[in-house]
């Protein structure tokens, strides 16, 4: 008996170094490592759904990318891939450069609207916290609330990376998930993947495949 054709779902991930999976250099090599969360996400999906769906995760992350640069990327790279869903984890680079929460949020909302207007499903991700840079935490909390509010209002998916990776007592990034307090380590990017899978990708698959 011939097995039915598997469904196919295409995801495009956009954002800055947290999407790239950047890990800062460590001795003795002093060479950065890259462990993108999309690789972990693909493995999670295949482990549970490979007999029913073929998934593709395109990682379009750019180290240091600002939200103001992302519209061009949507109009070129993202659209050319015809993804079913886009995963957006961005805004941290903007905050480091001193842009206001309101400026970053508006840029993200423009990106979200551009994706949705093209029929691309949206997975909005909150930013993780930081460790050792406490002045950066409050802006991230404020931005994350705006991101979550947009997701809820538009019935888009929301993956709460901040909640999944903080020390709940201090609201700082967990020390075991980062080597420099800003970027994540392999365990941190794995936690990002677990969160996106549980809060967005798995519900998508369950809805589509039953």
C-alpha distances out from residue 183 to 49, 100, 166, 179, Å: 30, 21, 13, 7
What SS3 string covers 49-83? HCCCEEEEEEECCCCCCCHHHHHHHHHHHHHHHCC
Dihedral of the CA atoms 188, 194, 196, 198 (nearest 10)? Answer: -150
Q: pLDDT value at position 28?
A: 65
Interval 2-48: pLDDT, tens: 345 778 999 999 999 999 999 987 766 778 889 999 999 999 999 99
Cβ atoms of 45 and 203 within 8 Å: the answer is: no
**What CATH number belongs to 7-209?**
3.40.50.1110
Place of tokens 């997701």: 151
Q: Across the strands, what pairs with 13?
A: 59, 87
Q: pLDDT value at position 4?
A: 55
End-to-end CA distance of the chain: 22
In the chain, which residues have pLDDT < 50? 1-3
CA–CA distance, 123 with 28 (Å, rounded to integer): 38
Among positive and negative, which fits the CA dihedral 126, 18, 54, 202? negative
DSSP structure class, residue 155: T
> Which pair of tokens denotes residue 26?
């460590």
- Structural element, H or E, at residue 87: strand 85-89
Q: Across the strands, what pairs with 89?
A: 15
């Amino acid at each position: 008996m011939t097995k039915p054709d598997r469904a196919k779902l295409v995801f495009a991930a956009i954002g800055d170094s947290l999407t790239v999976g950047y890990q800062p250099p460590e001795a003795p090599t002093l060479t950065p490592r890259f462990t993108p969360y999309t690789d972990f996400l693909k493995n999670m999906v295949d482990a549970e759904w490979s007999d029913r769906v073929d998934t593709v995760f395109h990682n379009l992350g750019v180290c240091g990318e600002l939200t103001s640069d992302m519209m061009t990327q949507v109009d070129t790279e993202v659209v050319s891939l015809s993804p079913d869903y886009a995963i957006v984890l961005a805004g941290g680079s903007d905050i480091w450069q001193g842009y206001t929460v309101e400026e970053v949020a508006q840029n993200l909302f423009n990106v979200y609207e551009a994706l949705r207007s093209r029929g691309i499903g949206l997975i909005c991700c909150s930013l993780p916290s930081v460790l050792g840079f406490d002045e950066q935490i409050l802006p991230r909390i404020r931005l994350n609330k705006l991101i979550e509010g947009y997701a809820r209002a538009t019935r888009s998916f929301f993956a709460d990376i901040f909640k999944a990776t903080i020390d709940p007592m201090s609201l700082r990034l967990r020390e075991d998930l980062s080597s420099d307090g800003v970027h994540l380590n392999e365990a941190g990017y794995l936690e990002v993947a677990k969160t996106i899978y549980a809060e967005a990708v798995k519900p998508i698959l369950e809805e589509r495949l039953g």
